[in-house]
């Protein structure tokens, strides 16, 4: 047996140990070669009489992250080729057989007649955990980093190598569906109580414990292959079963709005699979898997949420020639809402923070926020008191600017006022050492303009956080006209150090994310003014896949801020730059009625104490006209709400604000929750095809206004059949 990716040895007791340890890879992944070797191992164990059973473990710190997604993508390409050469049926038949190879391999392991036990340490996810689930006995380590789970649904797929069938036979159906829908990484003890694994032991003892189970006569028959097997939630068509499925369907619809075919496939595969024996159940699962694998949603989600996200997190946009930076101390100036959050995430990543505000009291207040966040973590059992003390130790709160001399990077988060910023930048620069990189967290002021207050515009950059800082995973890095590579390199290194995802954009009003999301909010105003019932506007937003409706988002951000931005835009760019009817609506809400949003407990919604928020009943009185629900087409509302954002993203590409499509896609999902099933703003366009998108926008422009007019670059691409990702493909 020639093995490259595994080591295989048999001990004196006749128990084999297959150690998965791929050369030149930091992490094991399932590839065609791994599958071939695993098959050889199964055959060997099954046929060699001297071998009693086999333990599978990993030779690395982690078990494995699962299947190589590029392998699955390759399958899709092969399918597309075959459709052209041999027709749809032959292509589909090839695709089905290929896409279920892993499932058949794991089933072969499960039914080979010899007991297999898994000994797992570290991360074990996706296809790798499906391998483990196929083993007759599962031992995992109690190490703090050990996690098991089936996260496929997060990239638009679902566990297609037996995961849906085995999980649903191991635990109550409701729990199984939840686990498969959420795709969470599960810690060792919860994994054991859920019935996913049998034993949790010390890291050093996993292999011996797994071997001991085989030695003690562990059975080579999976519970579901035993004649007496009963489903944990009884039969699907039983009184108990019928208590599960109607609510399960309702929860699925509520959570996905029917936008995620993979989630629906999970529901169907479990529902149908539990009514038949295991082999047939696996075949049903495979059918759904092949269908989902070919879906646009899976293709787009894999590209954005797996490939692109990984690239950006690894620093794809970092200038290669710049030497690695060592950021030890970061100065955060302005300890308000944002500064306090920035101080926390920075100290949490192990860096020292000098937190400066106008007086000691304000600086201390900013530091107290870290105390609060860490105390919340302690309450939830996620941190220890000592962790909080160590983190607070790293933050120096002061009103003394001279303390900033120790910093490698400055992030200013003072009031959004050009005069205040100008003064603060000059003052800071009189205290910092030469070479320090200076970043502003401004959300609206051009970086190129702010850089004029600096002595070194090449070291001046924007690092734009989203609120709440500790929760939002995106950071926009903004390049001023003169910003140099050293500043960009340090900004990216910093964002990576705090474990957030950086996107790099060029300086322009609203940068990228805010600019796109403003269109979403404004479309909500437009619909109100057209007389669309408010509840339908909100429902359309959610059904389109946005986390909240446009009116709700408005309340969260605060209407007074929206009005302020609108007025500032009008002052700078003239009365035609904004919509006067929208402004009048906001003036009514903010200045006349004081309904500024959630922070005042009244906005487009009411926020009654101890009860869920509800749309403000009198909002309809502010609408100049009213449409009856039957006069409104929901699909058009949904199209408008997504298209307006996607169009803005397309414009940022044409204007050179965004230069890499991965950043627009990842940025739109992480920054403002743009319908994740689409793969992001640009992938939404590509998923439906440029020509169709242009045609739809042209129709919308005729009916609703010039804001829907497709831009030139988009029209050109629709004609030429181009792609935003063409450059990326070439580079690869």
Are the C-beta atoms of residues 458 and 432 closer than 8 Å to each other?
no
Strand extents, DSSP E, 218-315:
none
Paired with 605 in beta bridges are: 615
Tokens of 47: 């046929």
Q: Which is nearer to ligand NAD, 168 or 518 (CB)?
A: 518
Site for ligand NAD contains 395 (CB under 6 A): no
Distance CA 52, CA 723 (A): 56
554 forms part of the interface with ligand NAD (CB under 6 A): no
Cα–Cα–Cα angle for 385, 389, 394, nearest 5°? 150
The site map against ligand NAD for 317-356 (x = CB under 6 A) is ----------------xxxxxxx----------------x
CB of 359 to ligand NAD, least distance (A): 8
Check residue 420 for interaction with ligand NAD (CB under 6 A): yes
Long-range contacts of 83-89 (CB under 8 A, 24+ apart): none
Q: In angstroms, what is the minimal distance from the CB of 423 to ligand NAD? A: 6
- Residues in a beta bridge with 346: none
Q: Out of 164, 441, 552, 683, point to the residue binding ligand NAD (CB under 6 A).
A: 441
CA of 130: how far to CAs of 224, 436, 552, in Å? 15, 49, 40
User: Minimum distance from CB of 399 to ligand NAD (Å)?
Assistant: 8
Beta carbon nearer to ligand NAD, 209 or 443: 443
Closest CA to 152 of 24, 30, 254: 30
Q: How many residues are present in the chain?
A: 732
CB of 480 or CB of 679, closer to ligand NAD = 480
**Smallest gap from residue 337 Cβ to ligand NAD (A):** 4
Query: Does residue number 407 form part of the binding site for ligand NAD (CB under 6 A)?
Result: no
Q: How far apart are CB 646 and ligand NAD at their closest, in Å?
A: 23
- Of the CA atoms within 13 Å of residue 526, those in its CB half-sphere come to 18
Cα distance between residue 263 and residue 298, in whole Å: 11
Would you say the C-alpha torsion 200, 202, 204, 205 has a positive or negative sign?
A: negative
| Token representation of residue 189 | 């003890």
In the complex with ligand NAD, the residue whose CB is nearer, 142 or 364, is 364
Give the distance, in angstroms, between the CA of residue 596 and the centroid of all CA atoms in the same chain.
30
- Identity of the residue, 180 or 424, whose beta carbon is nearer to ligand NAD in the bound complex: 424
Site size with ligand NAD, rule: CB under 6 A: 22
User: Quick check: helix, strand or coil at residue 187?
Assistant: coil
Q: How far is the CB of 420 from ligand NAD (least distance, A)?
A: 5
Show contacts with ligand NAD in window 459-498 (CB under 6 A). Answer: 465, 467
- Residue of the chain from 148, 302, 309, 414 that contacts ligand NAD (CB under 6 A): 414
Q: Using DSSP bridges, classify how beta strands 6-10 and 437-440 pair: parallel, antiparallel or unpaired.
A: unpaired
CA distance 6 to 45: 14
Binding of ligand NAD by 658 (CB under 6 A): no
Does position 22 interact with ligand NAD (CB under 6 A)? The reply is: no
214 or 363: CB nearest ligand NAD: 363
By rule CB under 6 A, what string of x and - marks binding of each residue 293-322 to ligand NAD? Answer: ------------------------------
What contacts 131, CB < 8 A, 6 or more positions away? 30, 38, 56, 106, 109, 118, 161
Q: Which of 98, 357, 663, 686 binds ligand NAD (CB under 6 A)?
A: 357
Q: Give the x-and-dash track for 23-62 against ligand NAD (CB under 6 A).
A: ----------------------------------------
Scan for tokens 């298209």, then name that residue: 643
415 binds ligand NAD (CB under 6 A): yes
* DSSP-derived pairing of the beta strands 474-479 and 460-465: antiparallel
Helices assigned H by DSSP within 138-221: 163-170, 173-182, 188-193, 206-215
In angstroms, the CA 727 to CA 311 distance is: 15
For the CB of residue 467, give the shortest distance to ligand NAD in the complex, in Å. Answer: 4
Q: For ligand NAD, which is the closer residue by CB, 356 or 409?
A: 356
- Least distance between ligand NAD and beta carbon 464 (Å): 6
Query: Could you say whether residue 413 binds ligand NAD (CB under 6 A)?
Result: yes
Rule CB under 6 A: is residue 362 a binding residue for ligand NAD? Answer: yes
- By the rule CB under 6 A, 615 interacts with ligand NAD: no
- In this structure, the strands spanning 123-125 and 137-141 are unpaired
Q: Which residue is nearest to ligand NAD (CB)?
A: 336
Min separation Cβ 507 and ligand NAD, Å: 15
424 in contact with ligand NAD (CB under 6 A)? yes
Written as six digits, the tokens of 204 are 């050093």
What is the smallest separation between the CB atom of 630 and ligand NAD, expressed in angstroms? 39
Binding site for ligand NAD (CB under 6 A): 333-339, 356-358, 362, 413-416, 420, 424, 441-443, 465, 467
């Amino acid at each position: 047996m020639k093995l490259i990716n595994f080591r295989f040895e048999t001990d004196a007791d006749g128990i084999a140990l297959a150690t998965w340890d791929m050369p030149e890879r930091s992490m094991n992944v399932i590839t065609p070669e791994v599958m071939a070797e695993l098959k050889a191992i199964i055959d060997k164990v099954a046929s060699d009489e001297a071998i009693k059973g086999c333990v599978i473990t990993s030779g690395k710190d982690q078990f494995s992250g699962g299947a190589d997604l590029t392998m699955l993508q390759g399958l899709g390409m092969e399918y597309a080729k075959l459709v052209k050469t041999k027709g749809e049926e032959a292509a589909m038949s090839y695709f089905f057989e290929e896409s279920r190879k892993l499932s058949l391999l794991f089933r072969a392991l499960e039914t080979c007649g010899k007991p297999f036990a898994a000994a797992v340490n570290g991360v074990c996810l996706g296809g790798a955990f499906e391998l483990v689930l196929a083993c007759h006995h599962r031992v995992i380590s109690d190490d703090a980093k050990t996690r098991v789970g089936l996260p496929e649904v997060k990239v638009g797929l679902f566990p297609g190598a037996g995961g849906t069938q085995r999980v649903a036979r191991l635990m109550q159906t409701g729990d199984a569906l939840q686990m498969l829908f959420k795709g969470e990484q599960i810690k060792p003890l919860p994994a054991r109580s859920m019935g996913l694994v049998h034993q949790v032991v010390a890291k050093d003892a996993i292999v011996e414990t797994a071997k001991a189970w085989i030695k003690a006569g562990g059975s080579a028959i999976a519970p579901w292959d035993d004649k007496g097997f009963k489903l944990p939630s009884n039969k699907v068509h039983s009184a108990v079963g019928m208590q599960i499925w109607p609510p399960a369907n309702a929860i699925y619809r509520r959570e996905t709005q029917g936008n995620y075919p993979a989630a629906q496939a999970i529901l169907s595969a479990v529902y149908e699979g539990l009514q038949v024996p295991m082999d047939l159940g696996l075949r049903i699962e495979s059918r759904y898997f092949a269908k989902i694998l070919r879906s646009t949603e899976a293709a787009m989600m894999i590209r954005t949420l797996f490939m692109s996200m990984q690239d950006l997190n690894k620093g794809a946009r970092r200038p290669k020639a710049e030497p690695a930076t060592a950021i030890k101390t970061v100065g955060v100036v302005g300890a308000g809402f944002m500064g306090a959050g920035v101080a926390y995430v920075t100290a949490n990543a192990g860096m020292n923070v000098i937190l400066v505000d106008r007086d000691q009291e304000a600086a201390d207040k900013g530091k107290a926020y870290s105390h609060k966040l860490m105390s919340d973590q302690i309450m939830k059992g996620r941190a220890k008191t000592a962790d909080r003390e160590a983190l607070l130790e790293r933050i120096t709160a002061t009103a003394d600017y001279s303390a900033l001399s120790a910093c490698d990077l400055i992030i200013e988060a003072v009031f959004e006022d050009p005069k205040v910023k100008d003064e603060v930048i000059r003052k800071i620069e009189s205290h910092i050492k030469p070479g320090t990189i200076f970043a502003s967290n401004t959300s609206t002021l051009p970086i190129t303009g702010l850089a004029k207050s600096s002595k070194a515009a090449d070291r001046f950059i924007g690092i734009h956080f989203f609120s709440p800082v500790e929760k939002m995973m995106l950071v926009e890095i903004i390049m001023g006209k003169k910003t140099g590579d050293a500043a960009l390199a340090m900004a990216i290194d910093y964002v990576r150090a705090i474990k957030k995802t950086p996107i790099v954009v060029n300086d322009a009003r609203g940068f990228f994310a805010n600019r796109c999301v403003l269109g979403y909010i404004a479309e909500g105003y437009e619909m109100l003014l057209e007389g669309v019932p408010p509840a339908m506007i909100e429902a359309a937003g959610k059904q389109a896949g946005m986390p909240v409706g446009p009116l709700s988002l408005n309340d969260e951000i605060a209407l007074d801020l929206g009005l302020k931005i609108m007025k500032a835009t009008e002052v700078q760019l003239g009365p035609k730059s904004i919509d006067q009817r929208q402004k009048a609506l906001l003036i009514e809400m903010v200045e006349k009625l004081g309904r500024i949003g959630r922070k005042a407990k009244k906005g487009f919604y009411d926020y009654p104490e101890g009860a869920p928020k509800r749309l403000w009943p009198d909002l309809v009185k502010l609408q100049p006209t009213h449409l009856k629900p039957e006069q409104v087409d929901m699909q058009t509302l949904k199209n408008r709400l997504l298209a307006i954002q996607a169009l803005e993203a397309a414009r940022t590409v044409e204007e050179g604000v965004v230069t890499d499509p991965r950043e627009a896609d990842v940025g739109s999902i992480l920054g403002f929750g743009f319908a994740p099933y689409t793969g992001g703003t640009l992938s939404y366009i590509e998923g439906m095809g440029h020509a169709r998108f242009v045609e739809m926008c042209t129709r919308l422009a005729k009916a609703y206004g010039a804001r829907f007019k497709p831009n030139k670059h988009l029209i050109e691409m629709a004609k030429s059949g181009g792609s935003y990702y063409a450059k990326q493909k070439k580079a690869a």
